[in-house]
Structure 1
Amino acid sequence: MQTQSTSIPSGLTGAIQRVLVVDDSRAQLKMVETMVRRWGYEVMTADSGHQALEIVRRTPPDLILSDWMMPGMTGLEFCRHFRSLSQNGYGYFILLTSKSEKGDIAKGLDAGADDFLTKPVNAHELRARIKAGERIVSMERQLSEKNRQVSDALEELREIHTAIDNDLRQARTIQQSLVPERICEVLTSRVSLLLRPCGHVGGDLVGVFKPGFGRLGLYSIDVSGHGITSAMVTARVAGYLSSTFPEQNVALERRFDRFYAMREPAETAQMLNQRLAADPGVEEYLTMAYVAADLASGRMRMVQAGHSPPLLLRADGSHDFIGDGGLPIGLVDEVSYDQHDFQLQSGDRLLLYSDGFTEAVMKNGEMLGDDGLVEIFRESARTGSGPDLLEDMFWRLTQQMESAAKLGDDVSAALLEYDVLRDARA
């Protein structure tokens, strides 16, 4: 039998518009077709499962009314084939049958049928079953549309996330460039730097600048907070302590138009505080430990502005924490800072570090603390030097941490090994 169809009546807006009727009985097929068309649906017909399968491949229906018992391909087999097809939307399937045994109904449901209608077909019951199917199809299409919208939104978020991730990776590269030298040697001393942000970018900064023969500026900075805002502040502060452009470095002052001399660390901290406190819209503050070193004599001048106290490991194995606190920079408009002077001896090691070390949570639930820092510093100093020493400290830290895979805070350090290259250069 040829496929028959009628145009969709104007005003038909239901979820079900196209109905396929399948029956090997011409009389039954004509009767069901007439009823369904009268209710305003577009109708397609087939007198066998094979013909119906060809139709649904070309023009997927919204609802199928199929006889169960048909020669060649039963309605049950047709239903299985129909469900195996890849379709954009859901097709509601009603089996017309004289079967009423629970086992038969279970077979129909297992094949993919949604509903059953007992023959001979009652017009009122058929229309009610179609309306029930319409509600199901409508909900399915609404759900599919919502899923599509969610998928589109997720794809858009994925694209946004990729763009942000790329920007952050580039920002990380830029921030890493703020520490161009990870190791440098001045006279017979060596400086090494470590910077490990907990995210793409962070609020820690370490650095060194060399204004003249045997002179060294060494600093460790920790900006409040994490992420992009903190990283932007570190970029600004890096410009204030530039190793490339001494005229922009607040720790230096021009003398006799011939050379740059180092300001007192307390004065440097005060100037930085004035600049940050005067910046409108910047709510972040920072802690800092800054050392102005004379490597020819071993004299150190240091300011501690709310930062972790530098750790001095003497060549004889003893240690000291230097400093007594001080206010962070950028927190208060007018503030003065105390300065600490001390002397290094050959083989001494001075460590400036952020609280990402001491406040890291260990596997026992406690923070590493000052004692833990001294222990890993000593252990690493026994077997290594320079950047290898700092890398070993970081490795030991992560091995003891509660979650080694994810840092809870930025970790950074600046290490000055005083007069350790004397024998190598003798």
Structure 2
Amino acid sequence: MNRGAVTAQPRRVLVVDDSRMQRRILSAQLARSGYEVLEAESGESALEICARIEPDFVLSDWMMEGMTGIDFCKRFREMERKGYGYFILLTSKSDKNDVAEGLESGADDFLAKPVNGEELRARLTAGERILKMEHEMKEKNRLLSSALGELRALYDVIDRDLMEARKLQQSLVKERFRSFGNAQVSLTLRPSGHVGGDLVGFFPINARRVALYGIDVSGHGITSALMTARLAGYLSGSSPEQNIALIQTEYGIYDARDPAELAAYLNALVLEEMRTDSYFTLIYADVDLISGDVALVQAGHPYPAVLRAAGEVEFLGRGGMPVGLFEGASYETVTTRLAPGDRLFLGSDGITEVMQPDGKLLSETGLSDLLISLRGLRGSVLLDALYWKLHQLSGTALDDDVSAVLFEFDGAKANDG
């Protein structure tokens, strides 16, 4: 037998038999085949040896004084081991019930007494294959565990980075509420994951006008979040000189681009400068705080909704192409007027595309029902209540970012000039 082809270390075999002659015969056969042999004259002494040294194979007589081979096998299987031990029962029994009893006790194989040398080697060779497969499986599991450990450590690092990225992205929405006297604006931004592709905001245009916007970048994750950060810089309220929506007049005061013009400008800017496969939907509104006049553009974003003071909901716009998808895309400016008590709601598709228990999307009809049911609430309280209503409707965690701008018009703002 070529032992070197199986393993560099000789396998250890424990021979258990109360017959000294039988042990000597088996030991001699095994030694000639290159095995390291240990002997025990009883099951009790065999257990003591197994507690100190783990044999690879056990050859045990079935019928012995004191502890039988069956009892010894059961005790052997209960012992803690680093590797598997292959157990062969030596017996003159051939009844099927006896064989079944031996297998149930944990034996792997049987050999009829007197033992034939060729058959013994054949049974041990079969056992070698089992032990080799067990060793290879343990090694693969070790490598897999090591790889999983490295991946877990890497994931923990990424997870910490994403948590910080989430904080940074949330910081892009520097102000979530502002009162303009007889009007107020409230924002909500809730990513479905660590970071998302939604962005909401507002900035003053001049003393009587304010701009509101909502953006939803295609996809999720880091790429989308990076693009929202870039877009936040383009629509910055703290740096009007860098805000592409604003134009400084010859008198040194700021005016704003027409909403449709702004969408077209952003579309060209994304395609020419960003050179990315990402695109985004946009809702942008220019609101007059004195008259309540609203001019807005809808570029692939869900329809803006006006919750009238009387209780009905009116949806505006006719759709429009997303920004950064097609060269030369054109957009339309839509206008309306808010009366005292009216509210303008600009929400992302993470709201209208919530899947309800009946398998249908919430859509504009469902959003309308929710806004009407919540009309007694105001500001961030209304937005928070809407978010939890969406959770209840979906029955599970929301799988898309949820963002919205709520503008509430209570009457004309005093004209300071």
Q: Fold conserved (TM > 0.5)?
A: yes
Residue 396 of structure 1 aligns with which residue?
389
Deviation per residue, 1:171-198 (Å, 9 max, x gap): 2222222222222211221111122323
Residue 60 of structure 1 aligns with which residue?
54
Matched to 2:222, the amino acid is: I
From the superposition, tell whether residues 322 and 60 of structure 1 become closer, same or farther in structure 2 (CA, over 3 Å). Answer: same
Residue 410 of structure 2 aligns with which residue?
419
Pairing 1:195-214 to 2, within 5 Å after superposition: 195-214=189-208
Tell me by how many angstroms 1:12 deviates: 6.0
CA distance in 2, matches of 1:293, 1:269: 16
2:160 matches 1:166? yes
Residue 19 of structure 1 aligns with which residue?
13
Contact 1:376–1:397, Cα closer than 8 Å, also in 2:
no
Task: Indicate which of 289, 293, 296 corresponds to 2:290.
Answer: 296
Matched to 1:415, the amino acid is: L
CA distance in 2, matches of 1:331, 1:105: 74
Tell me by how many angstroms 1:373 deviates: 1.5
Residue 88 of structure 2 aligns with which residue?
94
Pairing 1:57-206 to 2, within 5 Å after superposition: 57-206=51-200
Q: What are the ranges of 5 or more consecutive residues in structure 2 without an aligned counterpart?
A: none
CA distance in 1, matches of 2:89, 2:320: 84
**Count of residue pairs brought into register by the alignment:** 412
Contact 1:187–1:214, Cα closer than 8 Å, also in 2:
no
From the superposition, tell whether residues 60 and 48 of structure 1 become closer, same or farther in structure 2 (CA, over 3 Å). Answer: same
TM-score, normalisation: structure 2: 0.90
CA distance in 1, matches of 2:2, 2:359: 72
CA distance in 2, matches of 1:359, 1:307: 12
Residue 351 of structure 2 aligns with which residue?
357
Contact 1:16–1:134, Cα closer than 8 Å, also in 2:
no
Tell me by how many angstroms 1:161 deviates: 3.2
CA distance in 2, matches of 1:389, 1:10: 78
From the superposition, tell whether residues 237 and 35 of structure 1 become closer, same or farther in structure 2 (CA, over 3 Å). Answer: same
Secondary structure of the residue aligned to 1:279 is: helix
Tell me by how many angstroms 1:268 deviates: 2.4
The answer to which of 344-353 and 314-323 deviates more is 314-323
From the superposition, tell whether residues 123 and 319 of structure 1 become closer, same or farther in structure 2 (CA, over 3 Å). Answer: closer
Task: Indicate which of 303, 307, 324 corresponds to 1:309.
Answer: 303
Contact 1:21–1:44, Cα closer than 8 Å, also in 2:
yes
Structure 1 runs of 4+ off > 6 angstroms? none
Matched to 1:409, the amino acid is: D
Task: Indicate which of 197, 200, 221 corresponds to 2:215.
Answer: 221
CA distance in 2, matches of 1:209, 1:164: 33
CA distance in 1, matches of 2:199, 2:206: 22
Tell me by how many angstroms 1:336 deviates: 4.1
Deviation per residue, 1:93-132 (Å, 9 max, x gap): 1112233333333332222111122222222222222122
Contact 1:12–1:40, Cα closer than 8 Å, also in 2:
no
Task: Indicate which of 232, 250, 265 corresponds to 1:238.
Answer: 232
From the superposition, tell whether residues 308 and 96 of structure 1 become closer, same or farther in structure 2 (CA, over 3 Å). Answer: same
Tell me by how many angstroms 1:10 deviates: 7.8
From the superposition, tell whether residues 136 and 48 of structure 1 become closer, same or farther in structure 2 (CA, over 3 Å). Answer: same
Tell me by how many angstroms 1:148 deviates: 2.8
Secondary structure of the residue aligned to 1:11 is: helix
The answer to which of 255-264 and 301-310 deviates more is 255-264
Residue 5 of structure 1 aligns with which residue?
none
Secondary structure of the residue aligned to 1:284 is: coil
